[in-house]
Amino acid sequence: MQSFLQEVAADLYRRYGEDVSSLHILFPTRRARHFFIDALSHLAERPMWQPRWLTIDDLMQEVSGLHSGERIRLIAELYKVYSACHDEPFDKFYFWGEMLLNDFDTIDKYRVDADALFRNIYELKELESDVSYLTPEQLEVIRQFWANFTDGATLSEEKRRFLAVWRTLGDVYHGFRARLQRQGIAYGGMMQRAAAERLLAGDFAFAERRRYVVAGFNALSACEKVLFRFLQHNAETDFYWDYDDYYLKNTDQEAGMFVRENHASFPPVVELSHDNFRKEKELTVVSTPSNAVQCKYAGRILDALRTGADGRKRPLDKETAVVLTDENLLLPLLHALPEKAGGINVTMGYPIKTTLAYAFLERLVELQAHRREGRDGTSFYHVDAAGILAHPYVARSAPQTIEQLRRTMLADRRIRMTADELGQTPLLKTLFTPAAEWRELSDYLLRAVAAVAREPYDGDDARQRVEFLAVISEQLIRLRNSLEACDIEITTSIYTSLLRRHLQTVRIPFEGEPLEGLQVMGILETRNLDFRNVVLLSMNDDNFPGNRVAQASFIPYNLRAAFDLPTPAHHEGVYAYYFYRLVQRAERVYMLYCAHADEKTTGEQSHYIYQLDFETGFRLKRVEVGVDVNLAENPPIEVAKEGDVWEKLSRFVDPESPAMLSPTAFFRYVACPLRFYFYSVARLKADDDLTEEVDAPMFGTILHAAAQRLYERIAGEDHPGGTLRALVGSGAVERAVAAAINSEYLQNEAADVKEYPGNLMLVHGIVSKYLRHGVVAYDAAHDGFRVEGLERPVEDSFPFVSAGRELRVRFGGIADRIDRLDDGRLRVVDYKTGESQLEFAGVEALFNGEAKQRQSNVLQTLLYAMMLTHSEGCEAVPALYYVRRMNHPDYSPELVDRSTGGVGEGYSAYAVDFERLLGEKLAELFDPAVPFRATDDAEHTCRYCDYRQICRR
């Protein structure tokens, strides 16, 4: 295979020899220059100077005398003109500004009469007399479009707003261009139009004789055509067009849409070989279920390509290219490349937005966005602070200090922490500094980035870390300079939006030798380059060619078509050319696509694949890559009670050990022995997440604490109904709830209820309602009791026999409330915030029933009643206060045993069966021969278990 650039180099060297060095050569990409020089170096007989390289923009700038301005500066200057016609703040204008700038750029590149384009229906007659260059068909398209705006009385609000803006666009366009002209800067289209008009006016000539070579271009704007025509007639210019007869001579092929016109308007000096497409090729279409599988399979293809006939692996060279039509696949692809594949040359650049450095900057921006100023100074939101502390650039700087800050934040439930509390080291002091105004934020970000760059860092990515941070610092400075030059005041939110938008387009070039190794590139970089082996990824129709022209624009499709501006058909022709010219000289082409359909993609293969299949006569080999979704059965987890496991378990039955078995821990064993092992033996604790919302456990903690504070006032009082009613009327309930929230949740006893955020006010109201209308109201109406204990420790030693050994286990826990009833019995009260569960299917079901019959609330309350009965030598009655239901007039906290019909019975009614079953369960728990196993009832028991990921249920 001889590539296009090799043919161009051979022809130029044949005609000019070493005088090629004097030529001015224009290629559409910089990458083409490297491959051209490589081709030329194989022809030259001795060292020689390179040709002079130019781009179209270089020539346009030389002719126009204008310089390209920074995009942010251009949008700011556009806003100054636009705001004279419309009252709109800059932050809301920025999106429209980008859209307008793109439209103005297109208008100028295609030399459209802006006045004619921006006229509206009311001036249609004048328009008809002033656009003689439009064809009757184009005028008809314009009439049809503006017919939608004829009846002003029935126009929708959207159409009215469109007209209001449209009527001023002509003035904005001319005012904007005049303003930029005075400042000597321009956007790309303005520069091209100025150059074209100067060339057409005959007001420009090159100072010296030049010889030009124009090679490999395709779609040309109107201004570029003017430039090429000037070069054609005013300089010695050789044109070379990269095409194939297959689509050039067939007018039905959209790939030749532009090259046919170029070939006729600017005839090539020498015809190169243009009949390569129909040569024998190996075309393979690969359907995959996901993008990740695409990349993995591409790695397999490359591994096969580097395997010779002798079975030996050889490095891949520049004759093989992986082309990404979706740049988001770059990183997954790099991870999927085969080992020892040789050098890899990536032309796309590494996106800064995927680096740890960018993630660090985002953390800093969010930290400042959520900061608050208060009486104690600046405070920062815990999520942002924790994110900064956990970032690798910070976490390694002072591990012990940072871990202590994190523990303090979790233990004290600190939703916000002050700058003084967080600034424990010089680095943290720099990071946790307030920055309000956008210039302060810019300076702060620069200081923060510089501070982490100076920190010692021994990670594998140390070099990349410094490089990425340096790039971010450079971009921060560039953005700051651009905004200062705009002379327009912006808010901090606008600055952060611009910063994000700017950095997300920045790419860091990979280091490598352009002419060695596997070539990884985007579709635009493939222009003029030819490869023997091509692997194309993401060949989905909605991605390649996609519809990139269907973007936000003030110029509707009808008017675009009427004024010969780019439309989807234009886009289709451009990308069809990219595809066919990439295939035309290749020997093997692999086209991979994701067949999975979701909300973002249809999963349909590109219609270019269909064209190859139905139009070319080539036989396409098709491969469907599947994924085995048959999951292997998870072997059951069993933990033997031996060694360290038995030693830790035995502490509960060791008379010398202070360890006690709580009712909650015992129920964990009843529900699932393996859960008990994880929590009480292995002591695996779930991560403690600090949330600003009051979750269910914290809600219960607040209610228990408030009830304790409230009932402390009646402790020891017989028949406290009157006192309880007085407490309700005095507002004591609300004060007790506020005190509980301050101590348990906010960790700030001095917090003011009036400063609670909305969610906390809601919690305060709900807990107060549950206590006032539920707990207190019920007790006031049924006051035959005296409170003897609040949050009182209760414990008891229980004997049992396991594996022939007589053992004792110490049960212990905290009873919410213990009352002495008028009949002398004790009542153990347990407050519950969940759904009411007072009925149960008997004691046997509590220990050995189905999952939904093993009711934790009933079993734990009976355990407390047992401990009280044994320790106090007095009958104890279990009672469950379900606070959600206690305002119902028929509510009763008494247990209901459906197996016997018993209601409100004391512990003695259950004692015999309860203690027998308890002993059996404890015998099983402490039997060394019975391992810890997971429950058989995964549906109910495992759904909310903290350890379900370990068990894979």
Residues 828-849: tens digit of each pLDDT? 999 998 888 889 999 999 899 8
C-alpha span between 599 and 896 (Å, rounded): 52
Question: Is residue 864, in this structure, part of any structural domain at all?
Answer: no
Residues 519, 477 share a domain: no
- Residue 311 pLDDT grade (very low, low, confident, very high; cuts 50, 70, 90): confident
pLDDT on residue 21: 94
C-alpha span between 594 and 472 (Å, rounded): 34
C-alpha span between 338 and 518 (Å, rounded): 11
Q: Give me the chain's average pLDDT, please.
A: 88
Asked if residue 456 has a cis previous peptide bond (ω within 30° of 0), the answer is no
Question: Is residue 88, in this structure, part of any structural domain at all?
Answer: yes
Q: Could you report the per-residue pLDDT of 34-83, keeping only the tens digit for each?
A: 999 999 999 998 889 999 999 999 999 999 999 998 888 899 999 999 98
Residues 289, 319 share a domain: yes
Taking each helix axis from N to C terminus, what angle separates 382-390 and 356-369, rounded to the nearest 10 degrees? 160
Question: Is residue 40, in this structure, part of any structural domain at all?
Answer: yes
Residues 384, 410 share a domain: yes
Please tell me the least confidently modeled range out of 243-257, 299-313, 608-622.
299-313
- The residue assigned the tokens 């860092």 is 457
705 has pLDDT over 90: yes
Cβ contacts of residue 623 below 8 Å, gap of 6+? 284, 285, 286, 287
What does the block give as tokens for 489? 């005041």
Residue 482 vs residue 358, higher pLDDT:
358
Put residue 246 in one of left, alpha, beta given phi > 0 → left and psi -120 to 50 → alpha: alpha
Please tell me the least confidently modeled range out of 390-404, 620-634, 655-669.
620-634
Question: Is residue 871, in this structure, part of any structural domain at all?
Answer: no
Q: Which of 885, 835, 844 is nearest to 862 (CA)?
A: 844
Q: In percent, how much of the chain has pLDDT > 90?
A: 58
921 has pLDDT over 70: yes
CB 813 within 8 A of CB 662: yes
Give the DSSP letter string of 510-575.
Answer: PPS-TTSSEEEEESGGGTT---SEEEEE--BTTTTT--TT-S--SS-HHHHHHTT---HHHHHHHH
Residue type, 110: Y
CATH of the domain at 214: 3.40.50.300
176 has pLDDT over 90: yes
C-alpha span between 785 and 939 (Å, rounded): 42
When pLDDT is averaged across residues 476-488 and rounded to a whole number, the result is: 88
CA atoms within 13 A on the CB side of 590: 25
294 has pLDDT over 80: yes
Residues 489, 389 share a domain: yes
Cβ contacts of residue 789 below 8 Å, gap of 6+? 815, 817, 818
Domain boundary residue among 487, 508, 529? 508
Counted domains in the chain: 5
Cβ contacts of residue 726 below 8 Å, gap of 6+? none
Question: Is residue 28, in this structure, part of any structural domain at all?
Answer: yes
DSSP letter (8 states) at residue 325? S
Residue 94 vs residue 480, higher pLDDT:
480
- Residue 126 pLDDT grade (very low, low, confident, very high; cuts 50, 70, 90): very low
Residues 124, 94 share a domain: yes
Residues 535, 489 share a domain: no
C-alpha span between 479 and 268 (Å, rounded): 44
Residues 502, 358 share a domain: yes
Q: Could you report the per-residue pLDDT of 492-503, keeping only the tens digit for each?
A: 988 998 899 889
Q: Spell 716-746 as b/e; 16+ CB within 10 A means b.
A: ebeebbeebeebbeeebbbbbbbbbbbbbbb
Question: Is residue 914, in this structure, part of any structural domain at all?
Answer: no
- Residue 151 pLDDT grade (very low, low, confident, very high; cuts 50, 70, 90): low
Residues 474, 417 share a domain: yes
Residues 311, 441 share a domain: no
256 has pLDDT over 70: yes
Residues 145, 114 share a domain: yes
Q: Could you report the per-residue pLDDT of 348-366, keeping only the tens digit for each?
A: 888 888 889 999 999 999 9
Question: Is residue 646, in this structure, part of any structural domain at all?
Answer: no
Q: Could you report the per-residue pLDDT of 736-760, keeping only the tens digit for each?
A: 999 998 888 877 787 888 878 788 8
pLDDT on residue 253: 94
What does the block give as tokens for 135? 């064809």
Residues 358, 333 share a domain: no
What does the block give as tokens for 531? 């490869």
pTM passes above 0.85: no
Domain boundary residue among 460, 483, 508? 508
Cβ contacts of residue 397 below 8 Å, gap of 6+? 425, 427, 452, 455
pLDDT on residue 124: 41
List, in sequence order, every beta strand (DSSP E) within 280-331: 282-288, 320-324
Q: In percent, how much of the chain has pLDDT > 70?
A: 92
pLDDT on residue 13: 95
When pLDDT is averaged across residues 525-530 and rounded to a whole number, the result is: 94
pLDDT on residue 121: 36
pLDDT on residue 631: 55
pLDDT on residue 158: 58
pLDDT on residue 129: 44
- Residue 928 pLDDT grade (very low, low, confident, very high; cuts 50, 70, 90): very high
Residues 173, 85 share a domain: yes
14 has pLDDT over 90: yes
Question: If DSSP codes are grouped into helix, strand and coil, which group holds residue 373?
Answer: strand
What does the block give as tokens for 51? 């040709």
C-alpha gyration radius of the chain: 39
CB 524 within 8 A of CB 29: yes
C-alpha span between 432 and 402 (Å, rounded): 13
The vertex-742 CA angle with 739 and 743, nearest 5°, equals 85
94 has pLDDT over 50: yes
**What domain range is 213 assigned to?**
4-65+206-265
pLDDT on residue 233: 92
Question: Is residue 713, in this structure, part of any structural domain at all?
Answer: yes
The vertex-817 CA angle with 816 and 820, nearest 5°, equals 160
